[in-house]
Structure 1
Amino acid sequence: MALTNSKKFDQQKNEKILLVDDDPSLLRLLGIRLSAAGYQIESANSAKMALGILETFHPQLVISDLRMEGMDGMALFEKIRQQQPNLPVIIMTAHGTIPDAISATKQGVFSFLTKPFESQELLSTVQEAIRLQPQNSTHNTDKKADLWRKKIISRSAVMSSLLQQTYQVAQSDFSLLIHSPSGTGKELLAKAIHLASKRHQKKFTAINCAAIPEQLLESELFGHCKGAFTGADKNHQGLFQSTDGGTLFLDEIGDMPMSFQVKLLRALQEKEVRPVGSTQSVKVDVRIIAATHKNLQQAIIDKSFREDLYYRLNVVELTLPALSERREDIPLLAQHFLTVAIKSTTHKINGFSQAAMEILIRAEWPGNIRQLQNVVEQCVALSTEPLISESLINNALRNESAQLPSFQEAREQFERDYLAKLLKTTEGNVSQAAKIAQRNRTEFYKLLKKHHLNAESFRVDNNIPSQA
């Protein structure tokens, strides 16, 4: 099945499949078909034998007959779900047991195959099960590497490449700049860098530069002395000092006020800070990891970010991909958020329906991983069935798109609407519109250009030039 706006996943055909059936001939035939397709196969002639094989074989998929002597396919599925809830199971069934198979899919079985089935149907279902279901990443098998990146949930090639680069740069002590859209996990990557570095036993501190008022930012980072300003009733150690020897993560560095940027630059160059109200500087040893969703090179052109600070921070730049660029990770992330969310509910939820997972993989995700988490949490809160359905996902996505815009989006929308209303009121008279807005004409023209508004289009008679 094709995916919208994404490449088909590369199947390396080294996945392991466990086949379970008490019919030796069918078991042998399935093994031949799947082995020929490149899969690693283990076979079990009973559910009990299959449970033993699971302990050492670690398959990515189990295919089991529904009707077997002793423990049947559904009982085996229940055992597997208790031990490995993310492991997909396909049930094979005869025509007479189709209703049982349909019921099984509602309980969390990935799919069912009605015997006899064609080879292509078998292979397509197998490929879908492996593609759609969350499995542990096969990347970064080194245990030491897994330790630093264990909270980064991924199996995609693009993230594997990024993590290899991340581990390499973490071994140095250079400043880093992480650039990515909002909601992609910049702080998580910064923590991973810290854990992989020689500073891992020291403190990791994160601060959102956009969330701290300008007048408090210097005190928060550099500290202050008692009596330095109203309310400073005792000495305060800033984050640079409290993180000495460790890693300081400056999130949304692009929103840092220009007036403070020169002070930060000086602290980075001199490796010392001066608390507010003090006459003495204090030596500090911290590694700086900065992050932003903004285009800092454009900000330099716009005179909102210092070029010298940019090059001080951007010794090495890492770019986190948007969620739409790593769709292979969506099943894994969705299952993780589901596992976390169901701890807050008493309702039993086993997973996502196949159709629901398809929607998750195809969605645009402008809010990236943060949006995916919100959608899963909404679905858990509203679900009344063992599987999260297609309709629940669709409704949650619509609810997400209807949420309030970000502050920046709202401000830009207000500016655009306000300027358009001014031009309409003054019939395209820029001088009059600028006067009402209490802005000079040069600045007003810049605002019009920013929002792609043409004063001439607001003239009642377009043949008469607007006054400027």
Structure 2
Amino acid sequence: MPDHKAHILVTDDEKAIRNTLKDILEFENYKVSTAESGKEALEFILNKKVDLMLLDIKMQGMDGIETLKQIREEGHKFPVIMISGHGNIEIAVEATKTGAYDFLEKPPDLNRLLIAVRNALSQKNLEKEYEQIKKKLPRITPIIGESKSIQKIKNLIDKVAPTKSRVLITGDNGTGKELVAKWIHEKSRRSGGPMIEVNCAAIPTDLLESELFGHEKGAFTGATDQRIGKFEQADGGTLFLDEIGDLGLDAQAKVLRALQESKITRIGGNKATHIDVRILAATNKDLEQEIADGNFREDLFHRINVIPIEVPALRDRRSDIPLIAEAFLSSLKEQDISFSKVSFTDDGLEALKSRDWSGNVRELQNAVERLGILAPDDKIDEDTVNSILSSKSMSGEKLDELANDILDFQEFKERAEKIFLIKRLEKNDWNITKTAEEIGIQRSHIYNKMNKYNIER
């Protein structure tokens, strides 16, 4: 039985053909509309939902091929069956290349017509089901590892995710704290809502309040439009406050108040807005020590630390390193055919396990890509790992060499600035806050410089 809800648009400049096809399809319990030109058909589908189109190729004005091209350019994906009284292979091929589902000659055989219509609608339904299944599938990468510590984290995620409890995720830089947060959201009852991420360390202090709570038009110089803050954007979903240990005390007080009252007020506004937000937070700092040092509010700590999850450093779960490295290499192969023949040897994976990985999973990911590009004979063995990953970094470049090679002062200054910044970051194990304090600039300026000079750990 055909889908009684299916809506078919018959487009043909011959009235007799339109009416004949309409009568046949309505007899089969389809809903049928008609158009006598390509232009009329395009106008029709702007306002009406169409499941299938029968489209004549030879029409006055815009012909069928031109109409089909515009349908596809405008993003409409419903199947189109082309009909022509001048059928030949060339026309059929062109119609198929343009995106036609099938091609029928006039006058269409009744059985052939109905079979083509049923098949086209069946394919459309299958594609719709596939899209629905895709939406239900996890959109994030898995947490890779079989070590006891990772199994413990996966079990914690399963227990915590369905609740409303706030979670504080701790661990070194690059361990995967953000991935843990994403999985908590993905497995929660809020997964259909937004997950909004805020890197507290990357936002200048003077802009943080506006970023989190929003502002009204004219609230301050430069506020030319109303801005909806991250708390409001996350309403009905999850707000992930990454690097929360880098929030200033003033901002901490305002976040605490928002959590206590479940309300926020935009800068320059006088109306409180109710928010329904689950808070996940992450930091690489010891917040209890930060409290003792007067840098973090104890009351905010207790608000966000309902469920603590500590993500282990990669050196504390070395057995997972080969699994993670192989997964990263497989991902590269899917994205770029040039990696298709690259593979690890057993001693190459053992060599990766023996390294300390101060940058954790993020550093390993970058290393795998570098090894995949530079490995001789597409084999990543122990010698390859030791030679490529032990090479000197950019920071080893000498300033006197730059002075000899570069004549332009601005270029010299930027290259020297890049070298200096890399060396300071390496010295502080890529801790942005510590580096900013040491060299006397704001954290946000370091992030801007890293973006400008394409600096990665």
TM-score band, normalised by shorter chain:
0.5 to 0.7
1:378 aligns with 2:370: yes
SS of corresponding position for 1:334: helix
| Aligned residue number for residue 358 of structure 2 | 366
| Aligned residue number for residue 264 of structure 1 | 255
| Aligned residue number for residue 174 of structure 2 | 183
Contact 1:349 1:388 in 2 (8 A): no
Q: Distance in 2 between matches of 1:356 and 1:243?
A: 44
Q: Distance in 1 between matches of 2:237 and 2:339?
A: 43
Q: Distance in 1 between matches of 2:283 and 2:367?
A: 24
Matches within 5 A, 1:17-416: 151-342=142-333, 343-344=335-336, 346=338, 348-399=340-391, 404=422, 405=426, 406=430, 407-408=432-433, 410=435
**1:197/1:253 Cα in 2 relative to 1: closer, same or farther (>3 Å)?**
same
Q: Distance in 1 between matches of 2:377 and 2:191?
A: 44
Write out per-residue CA displacement over residues 328-365 of structure 1, whole angstroms, 9 at most, x where no aligned residue: 21111101111223433525434112221111111111
Report the CA distance between 1:221 and its aligned residue: 1.0
Write out per-residue CA displacement over residues 224-277 of structure 1, whole angstroms, 9 at most, x where no aligned residue: 100011111111111111110100000000001111110000000000111011
Give the structure-2-normalised TM-score: 0.56
Contact 1:210 1:253 in 2 (8 A): yes
Q: Distance in 1 between matches of 2:242 and 2:215?
A: 22
Write out per-residue CA displacement over residues 296-348 of structure 1, whole angstroms, 9 at most, x where no aligned residue: 00000111101111001111111111111222211111011112234335254
Q: Distance in 2 between matches of 1:212 and 1:332?
A: 35
Q: Distance in 1 between matches of 2:394 and 2:194?
A: 39
Higher relative CO (Cα under 8 Å, sequence separation at least 6) belongs to: 1
Write out per-residue CA displacement over residues 136-178 of structure 1, whole angstroms, 9 at most, x where no aligned residue: xxxxxxxxx9959862112222111111112101121011100
Report the CA distance between 1:408 and its aligned residue: 4.2
**1:360/1:242 Cα in 2 relative to 1: closer, same or farther (>3 Å)?**
same
**1:369/1:347 Cα in 2 relative to 1: closer, same or farther (>3 Å)?**
closer
| Aligned residue number for residue 57 of structure 1 | none
Contact 2:328 2:368 in 1 (8 A): yes
Seq. identity, %: 42
Which one has a bigger Cα radius of gyration?
2
Q: Which amino acid aligns with 1:163?
A: K
Q: Which amino acid aligns with 2:284?
A: H
Q: Distance in 2 between matches of 1:319 and 1:242?
A: 27
SS of corresponding position for 2:377: coil
Q: Distance in 1 between matches of 2:438 and 2:386?
A: 27
Report the CA distance between 1:278 and its aligned residue: 0.5
Q: Distance in 1 between matches of 2:146 and 2:293?
A: 39
Q: Distance in 2 between matches of 1:345 and 1:371?
A: 23
SS of corresponding position for 1:340: helix
Write out per-residue CA displacement over residues 106-159 of structure 1, whole angstroms, 9 at most, x where no aligned residue: xxxxxxxxxxxxxxxxxxxxxxxxxxxxxxxxxxxxxxx995986211222211
Contact 1:176 1:289 in 2 (8 A): yes
Q: Distance in 1 between matches of 2:187 and 2:439?
A: 44
Contact 2:162 2:189 in 1 (8 A): yes
Q: Distance in 2 between matches of 1:366 and 1:182?
A: 9
SS of corresponding position for 1:207: strand
Report the CA distance between 1:400 and its aligned residue: 7.8
**1:399/1:212 Cα in 2 relative to 1: closer, same or farther (>3 Å)?**
farther
**1:146/1:280 Cα in 2 relative to 1: closer, same or farther (>3 Å)?**
closer
Write out per-residue CA displacement over residues 26-72 of structure 1, whole angstroms, 9 at most, x where no aligned residue: xxxxxxxxxxxxxxxxxxxxxxxxxxxxxxxxxxxxxxxxxxxxxxx
Q: Which amino acid aligns with 1:179?
A: T
Which moves more between the two structures, 216-225 or 333-342?
333-342
| Aligned residue number for residue 450 of structure 2 | none
Contact 1:180 1:320 in 2 (8 A): yes
Q: Distance in 2 between matches of 1:302 and 1:255?
A: 13
Aligned length: 271
Report the CA distance between 1:391 and its aligned residue: 2.6
Give the structure-1-normalised TM-score: 0.55
Q: Distance in 1 between matches of 2:140 and 2:146?
A: 12
Gaps of 5+ in 2: 1-135, 396-421, 441-457
Q: Distance in 1 between matches of 2:337 and 2:434?
A: 34
SS of corresponding position for 1:303: coil
Contact 2:215 2:268 in 1 (8 A): yes
Q: Which amino acid aligns with 2:190?
A: R
Q: Which amino acid aligns with 1:354?
A: D
Which moves more between the two structures, 389-398 or 275-284?
389-398
Gaps of 5+ in 1: 1-144, 416-468
**1:375/1:363 Cα in 2 relative to 1: closer, same or farther (>3 Å)?**
same
| Aligned residue number for residue 107 of structure 2 | none
SS of corresponding position for 2:369: helix
SS of corresponding position for 1:224: coil
